[in-house]
Chains A and B, each alone.
Chain A
Amino acid sequence: MSHANDRLFDHKLAREWKLKKSRAEKDKRMTLQEAVATLVEDGDSIVETGFAYVRGPMAAYWEIGRQRKKNLVGIFTPGGMNTAWHEFGGLEGAHVAYVGVEMRGLISPFRRGVEAGTLKIYSEWSHGALALALRAAEQGVNYVACKSMLGTDIMRTNPYVREAKDPWTGEPVCLVPAMYPDVAIFHVHHADKYGNSRIWGPSVNDTAIAVAARKVIVTCERIVSSEDIRSNPYQVIIPHYCVDAVCEVPYGAYPGDMPGMYYFDRRLQERVVRIEWKTKESTKEWYEKYILGTKDHYEMIQLIAEEEGMNVLEYMKRLEQLSCDASYFGLGYWGVGGERDWKYEEVAKRAI
């Protein structure tokens, strides 16, 4: 088996794989456990989607942790809490544009891994350049010439990009090759059973990633009918033919932000990033209790809710409501405070 890095820029391999994918409208629904078990293989490269902690597929990442997948190679533009995999054998190396949670700070397991030399950084990027590498794959071009990263140490610590002269003007440009990750997992608001996926809020790099990646899992807040998607295709960002599995996972971005529906669980994120994961020992304790010690995402949320002594899902919905009334998000009654989100009440009841 080749190393993930040998496949990462191989456009022929990526095309061969995609030629074999079915174009038919096929029911791709399965459980998250099944999707992760069959589509995420040890040693795969896996690219972050959404904005890592905003509309990130956290339930799927925790499931990868539970199934103890080994030696994944992360592509982080940006990357967030899933870098904790490293201390449990799940993350061997990374291509990095950004790993952290902005003002909440650095992610300690990632930091410890790099400082100790156990987590390999294969290449440094800027967000813009890594976005272009994925976009190049989507646009069907071998590489793009851009004006990012020039003159900096990033050029020196990224073996995949090259400086070249623009053949027309003679100016220096940075050549960024098209990138084809092994796996991408998306969390979206709505998907039909074939995989057509609709979102609210920023799509970030998701359309490009869906086309670039070989294997694609979509987790969604709700599965909707194909008619629903076909009658309003305007926020559909992932086409069905890219998708291998569709899993209905309400609150799948928890403890991250899901635009128009729920905000970060700020209390939990702050505590985990700043305190619980500060040392290797405390990270192990947390991870064993909340990830390895629970059977699924909802058992984890239930455990957190019990310890917090509050309905965390209600709290996140309230936070979201602070700034976003549903009408402005165009979510109508699907979104925060809506009448028809009965399903979320159900899930909330199950979780509390």
Chain B
Amino acid sequence: MSEVQYTPRELLACVAARLIKDGESVFVGTGLPLVGALLAKKMHAPNMMAIYECGAVDPEPRVLPWSVSCSWTTYKAPIILSMSSVFGHSRAGYADVGFLGGAQIDMYGNINATCIGDYEHPRVRLTGSGGANDIASLCERVIFMGLHLPERLPERVDYITTPGYLDGPGARERAGLVGGGPWRVITHLGVMGFDEETCRMKLISYHPGVTPEVIQQFTGFELLIPDDVTETPKPTEEELRILREEVDPCQLFCF
């Protein structure tokens, strides 16, 4: 039997899609989260409802959109609300999962999308929060996707744009935040979750061809590695077919 061939981004998209359950509402950020959400909807979660910060709820994009706001994203949406309304509805309890990207994430799941280096004199100025802060503050649980490199997973992010568990247990409650906080971190090396007691990032599964040791080497802090870590299941032929033929045929994101 021939080996299934796939790229790291394709694996990321498939792993992300699997984390979405049918019937859930998902607040989708731009980039790979968009791909993961569309793939989930075409696979096991046809009743999943996507929410976009431009105000579109439950659209049926025919083509992979270029933006969380463009006409392809809003296509066939039964309602398009205003920006403040969609965030308000999330606060009210209508958003189960928040699906985000970002430049850096730290051991407590705090995300930086604002600047690399000192805020006053940044080495790199990034985009800023966009809807990410609101999504992570208000949705019930948060999935983060990104590349796995030591500088991208530092012990402390240079700037907390988007709240994870802040500085540890109880901090979200003390700060007055509503949602449950970070739940999964998907990178091109593995899938991470968070320890219930310490709120620190822990390994859940490593991708095929990677070991927990390698993942630790590429992480800027001490990753908790429980005994029961497993290998991430490879993308199935069906997942890859739908991804390549229906979700991202032009390889805009999954190259």
Chain A residues with a Cβ under 8 A of chain B:
51, 53-54, 76-78, 96-104, 106, 110-111, 114-115, 117, 124-129, 131-132, 134-135, 146-154, 157, 171-173, 201-205, 207-208, 257-260, 263-264, 266, 320, 322-324, 328-329
Contact = CB atoms under 8 A, between A and B. Distances in A.
Given A110-B125, A148-B133, A131 B252 contact: no
B8 interface: no
A153 B161 contact: yes
Interface string B129-169: 11111100110000000000000000000011111001000
B68 interface: yes
A327 B183 CA distance: 40
A117 B122 CA distance: 9
A208 B138 contact: no
Contact of A115 (B67, B125, B133): B125
B129 A117 contact: no
A322 B249 CA distance: 13
A210 B125 CA distance: 30
Contacts of B178: 147
B56 interface: yes
Interface string B101-129: 00000000010001000010111111111
A135 B55 CA distance: 14
B133 A111 contact: no
A124 B125 contact: no
Contacts of B56: 202
Contacts of B132: 126
B30 A102 contact: yes
B131 to A, nearest CB: 4
Contacts of B122: 114-115
A322 B62 contact: yes
A204 B172 CA distance: 29
B69 A51 contact: yes
A111 B31 CA distance: 20
A98 B68 contact: no
Interface stretch (B77-85, B193-201, B234-242): B77-85
A127 B83 contact: yes
A256 to B, nearest CB: 9
Contacts of B180: none
Given A117-B121, A263-B70, A172 B175 contact: yes
Contacts of A134: 84
Nearest to A135: B84
Interface in B40-90: 53-56, 61-63, 66-72, 74-76, 80, 82-84, 87
B82 A207 contact: yes
Contact of A324 (B30, B67, B72, B161): B72
B114 to A, nearest CB: 7
Given A103-B253, A126-B131, A323-B72, 8 more contacts: A51-B67, A151-B171, A202-B56, A208-B82, A264-B66, A322-B72, A324-B71, A324-B72
Given A124-B114, A320-B71, A323-B71, A114 B125 contact: yes
B133 A128 contact: yes
A49 B172 CA distance: 33
A307 to B, nearest CB: 22
Given A124-B114, A201-B71, A264-B66, A148 B130 contact: no
Nearest to B31: A103
26 contacts: A51-B69, A54-B69, A96-B128, A102-B68, A103-B66, A106-B127, A124-B129, A132-B84, A134-B84, A135-B82, A148-B134, A151-B160, A151-B166, A152-B163, A153-B119, A153-B160, A171-B176, A203-B82, A204-B55, A204-B83, A257-B66, A257-B71, A264-B66, A266-B66, A324-B75, A328-B76
B225 interface: no
Contacts of B133: 126-129, 148-149, 152, 154
The 10 closest A-B pairs by CB, nearest first: A151-B175, A172-B176, A128-B134, A126-B133, A100-B127, A98-B130, A128-B87, A51-B69, A114-B125, A131-B84
A164 to B, nearest CB: 10
A205 B82 contact: yes
Given A99-B128, A103-B30, A127-B130, A264 B83 contact: no
Contact of B252 (A103, A126, A135, A157): A103
Nearest to A206: B82
Query: Which of B114, B137, B174 has the most A CB atoms < 10 Å from its CB?
Result: B137
B91 interface: yes
B224 interface: no
Contact of B159 (A131, A153, A205): A153
A99 B129 CA distance: 9
Contacts of B137: 126, 128, 147-150
Contacts of B62: 322-323
B114 A128 contact: no
B113 to A, nearest CB: 9
A87 B84 CA distance: 32
B84 A53 contact: no
B144 to A, nearest CB: 15
